[in-house]
Structure 1
């Protein structure tokens, strides 16, 4: 009898021991759900107006891999004023916090959702890129502005992709691989920012025409810059080249055109792919007219007189140009002229002219 008692006690101890070491799930029937999880993590950030879809994966007795049970989930939200959820699709309604709960056969999982004000705008800096093939640059910084006016730096939260294989993303950088155009796209939630990228071939030579320019004040002139690729193909770089001016107060370049600002001289240096070109710009005032000291002359034969000619500019500046002007007489037999000196020859009338630059001045001369 005692022996039987010890045997029963031993069997009872074995049952208790097995119950302690075998998980409760082991007692579940094949096909029972033992746990579920909502994909995407235990928390989510959204903006007002955004939507997102959830997937629920379950650990099922008898299956080695987790099963998709999204279609059989009963959904609920702790705050329907903040988010609503229908058939796994959650929509952000207003700023605030809520918990989304998924339930299948009595097994639950949840995810915390934080909703912020709607994104009004998103911008990237820089707004565009131009790379020589093989070169690379850091990905843009990105900021958003919400409807309440608050600006946020979301650079670290952006998911970047490129539209084709002309460029690749590597270690937080974008690298140009093949010449052409590619679109760099950054996604923040459901908001996307697009940054155009141009990948160019290697330039072996850069040329500019003209190499010297003379301009009047406030006038402009386009500069033509031509680049030659390693394959011999030429390209217009007029608006792509980066310019610096030795005297920016005299001349400056914008959109491939040089503009005269004040009188003087400046040297413009253009750079593209480590190739440089230079152009000398001289800014001069505009000649308005030539002025003589007298309006008419009456001379006696064999007498003479010397006249001066003054150039007047749009700046108000004047300068004597007597010796450099081109002089002439319509009737040299009446009166001759040399460097402003008029000599009466014989009785009659003539017109003495002085030409300088693009202007001309005349004076009637009578010899009697």
Structure 2
């Protein structure tokens, strides 16, 4: 019998292997198929809608190496509602389990296919990276959500690749090599997740403005941070720098914006590529109004009275500011005032005003 020539067909995609042999015969003729195997494993997981192509290798009498006999295989499925097979191309139809059988010259091999619900979405965490050249990080965690709402951690099953040589994959990590942008791509079966990666140059200096600020309660202000690369170019790092507050109850920082929470002073420390900057924030109460003890006065000539003025803040706090307020009289000929002491001079009407901070309060005075 002449040597058998088999056409090379089928894609070596997912490798499934199970070897089934027929009883061997010491007198088998040259060219007889002794055993066949579906490369890869005895079971395979697929998602609804996915397709894979199997390769079948045979041990043939008279040949030292295994022969690709995919083109001559007769295929069958135990459940066409779950999985169909045409010329070695397997398609997942519905959730369930089916057995795929390959047969050549009476020799069989089979693989069990488990079909799960269709993948609705795939997500990587983190969803993006920024690396300084030469630095590396652990590959992302990947989860999928199926059509039935079930979430699965498939991190260990992801096959990773990078779109260019600006970054490399080494021992389960991604390493930035050259400044630029690269796409990290992870495949789970026929589903792909993409993670953008920015590889940056080394930052030699970081500056923040303003370095000191005063904020009123509940007010916010953005910090601007500029980084300088080793080549002299600059970059805005305002949203990239990581900040910590010496007292988060007084002021916090989110995405580069400071928010005043309670009265006090804090030091904010920002880090980026081992560079550190600081900003001092003072949270001060806002003066709401000035309050006098009386709404109006009636005095006799040559008599006097001393008024106190109180400052009230938005925090509810109050303090006496009588001695530090600036006092004035609209008609000193009627009444004079100094440090809150009003002295009636002659009959008439005047207004006494106290100013402190950015507020003022006035009281009408009648001398009669």
Contact 2:30 2:62 in 1 (8 A): no
Q: Which residue in 2 is equivalent to 1:283?
A: 283
Counterpart in the other structure of 2:4? none
Which position in structure 1 is the counterpart of 2:359? 359
Higher mean C-alpha deviation, range 64-73 or range 346-355: 64-73
Stretch moving more, 183-192 or 90-99: 90-99
Looking at structure 2, the residues matched to 162 and 39 of structure 1 have their Cα atoms a distance apart, in angstroms, of 27
Q: Quick check: 1:49 aligned with 2:65?
A: no
TM-score by length of 1: 0.82
* CA distance in structure 2 between the aligned counterparts of 1:345 and 1:205, rounded to whole angstroms: 67
The superposition leaves residues 44-77 of structure 1 with CA deviations (integer Å, 9 ceiling, x where unpaired) of 2212332212234567789887665544443211
User: What is aligned with 1:242?
Assistant: 242
Structure 1 range deviating more: 267-276 or 50-59: 50-59
Q: Helix, strand or coil: the match of 1:156?
A: helix
**1:323-368 alpha-carbon deviations (Å, 9 max, x no partner):** 2222223334443332222334444433222122221111223344
Structure 1: tracts of 5 or more residues without a match = 1-21
Instruction: Give 1:320 shift.
Output: 0.9
Matches within 5 A, 1:240-279: 240-279=240-279
Within 5 Å, give how 1:28-43 maps onto structure 2: 28=30, 37-43=37-43
Q: In structure 2, do the counterparts of structure 1 residues 23 and 357 end up closer, same or farther at CA, with 3 Å as the change threshold?
A: farther
The 3-state SS of whatever aligns with 1:270 is strand
Take 2:135 and 2:274, find their aligned partners in 1: how far apart are those partners?
13
Counterpart-to-counterpart distance in 1, 2:324 and 2:181: 57
Asked if residue 219 in structure 1 is aligned to residue 219 in structure 2, the reply is: yes
Separation in structure 2 between the aligned mates of residue 346 and residue 211 of structure 1, nearest angstrom: 55
Match of 2:304 in 1: 304
Runs of 5+ unmatched residues, structure 2: 1-24
**CA distance 1:104–1:212, shift in 2 (3 Å):** same
Residues 56 and 247 of structure 1, relative CA distance in 2, 3 Å threshold: same
C-alpha distance after superposition, 1:118-163 (max 9, x if no partner): 3344333323222111100111222334445554332221101122
**1:169 to partner: Cα distance:** 0.5
The range that moved more, 349-358 or 56-65, is 56-65
Matched with 1:293 is 293
Per-residue deviation, 1:40: 4.1
Alignment deviations for residues 266-319 of structure 1 (CA, whole Å, 9 cap, x no partner): 222111112222222222333221111122233344443321111122332221
Equivalent runs, 1:49-198 vs 2, <5 Å: 49-57=49-57, 70-104=70-104, 106=106, 108-198=108-198
Number of equivalent positions: 344
Mapped to 2, the partners of 1:24 and 1:154 lie a distance apart of 50
Specify which structure has the higher proportion of helix. Answer: 1
- Distance in 2 of aligned mates of 1:151 and 1:112: 24
C-alpha distance in 2, partners of 1:224/1:346?
60
Greater mean deviation of Cα atoms: 164-173 or 70-79? 70-79
- 1:322 and 2:332 equivalent? no
Cα distance in 1 between the residues matched to 2:321 and 2:305: 17
Give the Cα–Cα distance (whole angstroms) in 1 for the partners of residues 177 and 343 of structure 2: 79
Deviation digits for residues 171-220 of structure 1 (CA, Å, limit 9, x no counterpart): 11001112233222211112222222222221111111112222222221
Question: How far apart, in 2, do the equivalents of 1:132 and 1:337 lie?
Answer: 68
> Does the CA-based 8 Å contact 2:138-2:173 persist in structure 1?
yes
The corresponding residue for 2:13 is: none
